[in-house]
Amino acid sequence: MEKLEILGCPCFAVNEAQAAKHLAELVQSQELGYTVAINAEKILKHSDESGFNHTIDNAIFPYPDGSGAVLGLRWLHGQQSEKVNMPVVALEVANTLSISTFIIGANAENHTKAISNIREKYENIEIVGHLHGYHDYETLLSAIKRTQPKLILVAMGSPKQEKFAAQILTKIDLGIVIGCGGALDIMAGALKRAPNFMVNNHLEWLFRLYKEPWRLKRQLFLPRFMWRLTLSWLKQRLRFWATPDWGRVAVVGTVGVPASYGGLETLVDQIVVGDSLKWTVYCSSRHYDVRPQRYKNANLIYIPLSANGPVSVVYDILSITHGLFSGHRQFLILGTSGAVMIPILRFFIPSIHLVTNIDGVEWRREKWKGFVAKRFLKFSEGLAVNHSSVVIADNDIIAEYVDKEYKRECMTIAYGGDHALVTPADLSSQQIDVVDKSFYLALCRIEPENNVALTLQAFSE
């Protein structure tokens, strides 16, 4: 797990599952440190406040806590992450591992209610001590030193809780300190959390503004943050454009990897094993519930569209555009849906290297209804064949079609089959009743163009 920077502010690109795993490892290894929730406000404070930037820099685990951090990680590093609800993650880790925990924060009434609710919900947590947030520093430190917890939850609000964490770590021997903001007030029922749909769509700030209009002044930093993030992104794109890395290859046109759809996805799954090139594979976020950032030797970038059907044209165009502005100058294009981009790329960057596997004769497939759709796909196929650096066919029939239709030489590279594993098996008639008979085995995705019905009919006669 790599620590990245957003406008100079450190942050790990993690989701909640990864955050929970990392936190558990820190606690079990008896590390000493504190976490910091990174959001747009803290990113700006990191560059504006010389004192607070040291507090953030010294954190053992800075994690994304808002849409600003999530957006920054995606724009500047191409990394997928999500807003991590660290107080809940910490409680779940403590409950699973029965970790000794000390809880600080909220006023006396809300603190008592929150502790009661936590004990009711998380029965395995070993709460070795708890104090409301209005005790003085010496009282809090004395209680922590006496109980020696492995996990310390501090709900004082930012930046007070981070500065408190940095201060007490010079006085204790072990413990991971988690800043919890208003989490105890929420757990006590005194403060309402934003609805899930707003949290999932990065609109929690809008809910808070609605409930607490006085926050408007604090929200004025958002335009400044977006301006600085956009400028940083543009500078990075221009840098990539000026100094492209020819060792990087962008793979576009498939659902993605790990392969779980069709033959082209299996092809990509096999080629990204090699480490002689830096692979970037564009994947459909609609297809994957779990979205790893890396797979084998490839970085994965997710496009929020389906890779199939009419929208595949937009999906491929967005993938190619992102790859171009990310500094890629070599593309492996699988299929011709987004081929309208190919002559544009060749016009503006003549040296770009485009290898296109046209797959099948897409415009003839039965699923495409209507004259316009078929003519567009035929047009795209022509653009791909005529303007790619190299054209690949995966069988001789397609190669013959390309030669006859476009008078263009192409390479024939078959794929599939070499991913099969040969293992010993007991093929006795008790297990398989066809061993003593002649039979053929055909493996494919069942769709009209694979002629499964025709194959069955032929072998039944």
CATH of the domain at 355: 3.40.50.2000
Q: Which of 412, 434, 449 is the last residue of a domain?
A: 412
User: At 284, which amino acid appears?
Assistant: S
Tokens of 303: 């496009």
| CATH number of the domain residue 179 falls in | 3.40.50.2300
Residue 60's closest CA among 28, 31, 27, 35? 35
Q: Are residues 144 and 78 in the same domain?
A: yes
Q: Are residues 114 and 213 in the same domain?
A: yes
Q: Which domain holds residue 387?
A: 244-412
| CA gap 399, 382 in Å, rounded | 14
Q: For residue 220, what pLDDT band results from cuts at 50, 70 and 90?
A: confident
| CA gap 331, 248 in Å, rounded | 9
Q: Are residues 274 and 405 in the same domain?
A: yes
How many domains is the chain built from? 2
Residue 72 lies in a domain: yes
Q: Are residues 183 and 285 in the same domain?
A: no
Residue 233 lies in a domain: no
Residue 279 lies in a domain: yes
Assign 3-class secondary structure to 12-42.
ECCCHHHHHHHHHHHHHCCCEEEEEEECHHH
Q: What are phi and psi of 390, to 5 degrees?
A: -135, 135
Q: Are residues 30 and 160 in the same domain?
A: yes
Residue 447 lies in a domain: no
| CA gap 145, 255 in Å, rounded | 53
CB 249 within 8 A of CB 331: yes
CB-count burial class (<10 Å; 0-12, 13-18, 19+) for 303 = buried
- pLDDT at residue 397, rounded to an integer: 86
- pLDDT at residue 93, rounded to an integer: 96
Residue 260 lies in a domain: yes
Q: Are residues 180 and 318 in the same domain?
A: no
Q: Are residues 286 and 173 in the same domain?
A: no
Q: Are residues 182 and 251 in the same domain?
A: no
Q: Are residues 295 and 404 in the same domain?
A: yes
Residue 269 lies in a domain: yes
| CA gap 166, 301 in Å, rounded | 36
Q: At what angle do helices 221-242 and 312-325 cross, to 10 degrees?
A: 80
Report pLDDT digits (tens) over 256-315: 999 988 888 988 998 998 878 899 999 999 999 888 888 999 999 999 999 988 898 999
Residue 381's closest CA among 331, 329, 324, 343? 343
CB 317 within 8 A of CB 296: no
Q: How far is CA 174 from the centre of its chain?
A: 32
Tokens of 192: 């309402």
| CA gap 439, 432 in Å, rounded | 12
Residue 353's closest CA among 244, 237, 234? 244
Tokens of 189: 């029922």
Question: Percent of the chain having pLDDT more than 90?
Answer: 48
This prediction has a pTM of: 0.65
CB 93 within 8 A of CB 112: no
Instruction: List the Cα angle 370/374/378 in 5-degree steps.
Output: 170
Average model confidence (pLDDT) across the chain: 86
Q: For residue 427, what pLDDT band results from cuts at 50, 70 and 90?
A: low
- pLDDT at residue 70, rounded to an integer: 92
Q: Are residues 114 and 196 in the same domain?
A: yes
| CA gap 105, 182 in Å, rounded | 9
Tokens of 172: 């204790």
Q: Are residues 215 and 257 in the same domain?
A: no
Tokens of 409: 């030489």
Tokens of 349: 């960057």
Q: Are residues 211 and 249 in the same domain?
A: no
Residue 421 lies in a domain: no
Residue 445 lies in a domain: no
Give the mean pLDDT of 414-422: 60
